[in-house]
């Protein structure tokens, strides 16, 4: 961005007056919200790990700081192909403005996004898969671009069944999706407000429908404005993967809860390129393990001291398959947990980068809530995701899970500490 940009208005659900300011960020930072109205100006990364609520909006938070209804702003950011950005907020929710993504998209256009170096992170899929969440269903297939096919159904004379297919490029998003506004129904108002939602909603910032049509003499920007807005919501929610999507998503009756379930499935099953990674040489600088007990091949994501993702490629050449079991090779569960622990050890050791890591080693102190969900066999690639739950001094508690083809194979909580050799 060559210049900052700001928008002021009222939050849809909190009703709070807020100013949102877009500021440039260095390459690799990602999209980060900063609550300038709170002590210490806490930051909330736009990541799936920070999702707190999905009822009628997507809210993210970290510690005591929460940002509600991030999907419109993030849709504009994603449509522009912006990978790194700081968003300062003077309140708990970006303003709803006219109820569409367009004001955010236009503000970012005026800020003139620029290239700051680094390689964009792209998330693609290699084979089709399906995600369901309550009434929402998504089929994801490989594609050379980000494409959406969306179908919605509502028993209302202006909606009924609507469907559309959209390619998400800056130009087509601006023309086909950005102006589509959020919508709601008069019969839901009292119930939603009783639950602390839509405190800032009005006919000026949403399409409000009664049983006959649009209230207050409002008009639609397209007859199918409703499905277009739902498509824009998907773009915003998938931005929480921290990557540019390269896939065809076919969504039926999408919801924020379903979109987040889809985003998590994409993050686990998809292939990321452009990620800063630690190859085996870097791993061996940190971990003392060697053949046949080095059980992590690559680190593909590191988010400070908060989260790490690592890969273990399982081949028939693993020595333990000779005895576990002859003619029926299955990776021992204890070694799956050991591999998970090694990825967690990498997360802990990154905190001591710049120190004498060659003379430090990670000891694991306890394991809790260990569960094995399905066997791991030759040819599988295990994706380990671990997050830091607590860190004090040289001791930490982590929670981790291993996935094969997007399905959980094992999970555990573990405590560890770094000691000098």
Catalytic residues: 256, 324
Structure tokens, 33: 């919200």
Q: Indicate the helix (H) or strand (E) that contains 258.
A: helix 256-269
- CA of 338: how far to CAs of 191, 284, 342, 344, in Å? 49, 16, 6, 10
Structure tokens, 138: 């998504």
Q: Are strands 85-89 and 160-167 parallel, antiparallel or unpaired?
A: unpaired
Q: Are 100 and 63 in contact, with CB atoms under 8 Å apart? A: no
In eight-state DSSP terms, residue 91 is S
Structure tokens, 373: 């969900």
CA 101, CA 8: separation in Å to the nearest integer?
A: 14
CA 318, CA 32: separation in Å to the nearest integer?
A: 41
Longest CA pairwise span in the chain (Å): 75
CA 140, CA 148: separation in Å to the nearest integer?
A: 10
Q: Are strands 381-392 and 395-404 parallel, antiparallel or unpaired?
A: antiparallel
């Amino acid at each position: 961005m060559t210049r900052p940009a700001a928008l002021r208005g009222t939050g849809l659900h909190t009703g709070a007056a807020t100013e949102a300011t877009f500021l440039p960020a260095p390459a690799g930072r990602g999209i980060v919200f900063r609550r300038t109205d709170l002590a210490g100006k806490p930051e909330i990364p736009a990541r799936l790990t920070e999702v707190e609520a999905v009822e009628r909006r997507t809210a993210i938070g970290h510690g005591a700081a929460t940002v509600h209804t991030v999907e419109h702003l993030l849709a504009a950011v994603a449509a522009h192909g912006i990978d790194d950005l700081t968003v300062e907020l003077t309140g708990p929710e970006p303003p709803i403005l006219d109820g569409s993504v367009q004001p955010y998209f236009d503000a970012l256009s005026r800020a003139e996004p620029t290239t700051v170096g680094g390689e964009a992170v792209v998330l693609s899929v290699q084979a089709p898969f399906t995600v369901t969440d309550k009434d929402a269903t998504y089929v994801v297939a490989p594609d050379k671009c980000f494409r959406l096919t969306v179908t919605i159904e509502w028993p209302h004379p202006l909606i009924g069944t609507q469907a559309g297919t959209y390619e998400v490029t800056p130009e087509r998003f601006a023309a086909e999706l950005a102006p589509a506004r959020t919508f709601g129904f008069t019969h839901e108002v009292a119930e939603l407000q009783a639950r602390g939602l839509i405190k800032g909603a009005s006919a000026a910032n949403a399409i409000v429908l009664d049983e006959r049509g649009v209230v207050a003499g409002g008009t639609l920007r397209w007859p199918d404005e409703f499905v277009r807005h739902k498509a824009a919501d998907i773009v915003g929610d998938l931005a929480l993967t921290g990557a540019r999507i390269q896939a065809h998503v076919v969504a039926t009756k999408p919801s924020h809860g379903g979109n987040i379930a889809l985003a998590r499935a994409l993050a686990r099953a998809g292939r990321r390129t452009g990620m800063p990674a630690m190859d085996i040489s870097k791993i061996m600088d940190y971990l003392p393990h060697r053949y046949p007990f080095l059980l992590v091949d690559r680190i593909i994501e590191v988010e400070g001291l908060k989260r790490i993702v690592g890969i273990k490629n399982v081949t028939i050449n693993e020595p333990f398959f000779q005895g576990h079991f002859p003619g029926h090779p299955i990776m021992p569960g204890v070694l799956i947990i050991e591999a998970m622990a090694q990825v967690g050890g990498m997360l802990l050791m990154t905190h001591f980068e710049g120190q004498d890591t060659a003379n430090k080693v990670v000891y694991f102190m306890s394991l809790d809530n260990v569960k094995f969900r399905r066997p791991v066999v030759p040819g599988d690639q295990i994706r380990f995701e671990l997050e830091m739950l607590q860190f004090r001094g040289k001791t930490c508690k982590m929670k981790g899970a291993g996935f094969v083809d997007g399905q959980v194979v094992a999970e555990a909580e573990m405590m560890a500490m770094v000691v000098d050799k």
